[in-house]
Amino acid sequence: MPRAFLVVMDSVGIGGAPDAAQFFNGDTPDTGANTIAHIAKAHPGGLQLPALDALGLGASLHLASGAMAPGLSAKPTGLWGCATEVSPGKDTPTGHWELAGVPVPWQWHTFPDETPAFPPDVVEAVKRAAGTDGILGNCHASGLRIMRDLGGEHLRTGWPICYTSADSVFQIAAHEQAFGLDRLLDLCRTVAPMLHDMRVGRVIARPFVGDEDSGFRRTPNRRDFAIPPPAPTLCDWVQGAGGKVHAIGKIGDIFSMQGIDDVAKGTDAQLMSHLFDAVDNAGDHSLTLANFVEFDSLYGHPRDPSGYAQALEWFDSRIAALLPRLRDGDMLLLTADHGNDPTWHGTDHTRERVPVLIAGLGPGELGQIAFTDIAASIAAHLGVPAQGPGQNRLPPHLTRTP
């Protein structure tokens, strides 16, 4: 019986987006950004990703951007292609919603790259909800850097650290113990409706621990308060047809739990264990949707190509161990939601095409497809009616009739 596993390798782009010149890091357009190709060139000996490459990663890279990458030259044994996004954004909700069949119909609100970045009414709303006399930050910043720079002042004043990026986000960092995790989540939950009304896509709680002497570090208890998708997504299609939808990582937050039955969270290593559990135990006609965020958060935004390469090689080794556990009728589709080239200018996402690598359905080339085609193809595999604009790209003999 069919099952589907949609695994999003957060920010693992492969260059070649036709509209990259319209997206920027600072004053630099994203033209020429290529997460996988540039990491491979920067990494001694190239990238060693035998499982992903065998599924078609190197081939999809060349198809997307014309680039060749050291270490990625295998003849594909899976169904493979690349996907192009059409929504006017390169952020996480936009990418995930479109992968799930729903392009974003509006322009997100972003805050100006100046200090202060936030309008006075937003600052006052945060102060009122937090019960503090002020906030820290109020600027564009790297999350890891601002936590280290302002963590000590946060402990002394009790004021929340508020910052943003080129994406449509309002992020609040606070010490999980001194400020309180529940208090931080309540703060984000309280101010989220106001920011959502402004078309700010996400209010993100960024808890951390530590002190100035030992250093500050994030905890796994991040929480995204996102605008709900504007139309039913793949998750709703599957759930509406009677299938279970299991979320791994921040998927529940991204989709505001719309169409989600249950969620498992943790570090990427813990999420991989949850994915193994899902492959072993998920029921027939189910969809498991997973996001592995640390490529993006720990290595893409901080511009760490070496760390990114090591994370990719770890991920590849775990996928190699996972593949033999797939059952007959399983579809494992690996893709990404956007790029985040760690060799690029600035600290923000990069506009790129993404790989589409499918295990369990035999070999073949899908070509250049749309993000929404991924949702339609998964729906066709599960025999679920698709409700979005995408097209089923699976060969006819692999398509089930709803």
Binding-site residue ranges: 10, 296, 301, 337-338, 349
Whole-number CA gyration radius for the chain: 20
Question: Which residue is associated with the tokens 């078309």?
Answer: 199
Q: How far apart are CA 71 and CA 53, in angstroms?
A: 9
Q: Which residues pair with 28 in a beta bridge?
A: 25
What is the SS3 assignment for 288? strand
H or E segment to which residue 170 belongs = strand 169-175
Cβ distance 295 to 12 under 8 Å? yes
Nearest to 17 by CA among 89, 79, 111, 112: 89
How far is 211 from 311, CA to CA, in rounded Å? 27
Q: What is the dihedral of CA 363, 237, 349, 200, to 10 degrees?
A: 170
The CA distance from 52 to 32, in Å, is 23
Side chain identity at residue 232, one-letter code:
P
244 Cβ contact partners less than 8 Å away, ≥ 6 residues apart: 238, 261, 262, 282, 283, 285, 286, 287
Q: Within 13 Å of residue 156, how many CA atoms lie on the same side as its CB?
A: 6
Identify whether the C-beta of residue 207 lies closer than 8 Å to the C-beta of residue 147: no
Which residues line the annotated binding site for Mn(2+)? 10, 296, 301, 337-338, 349
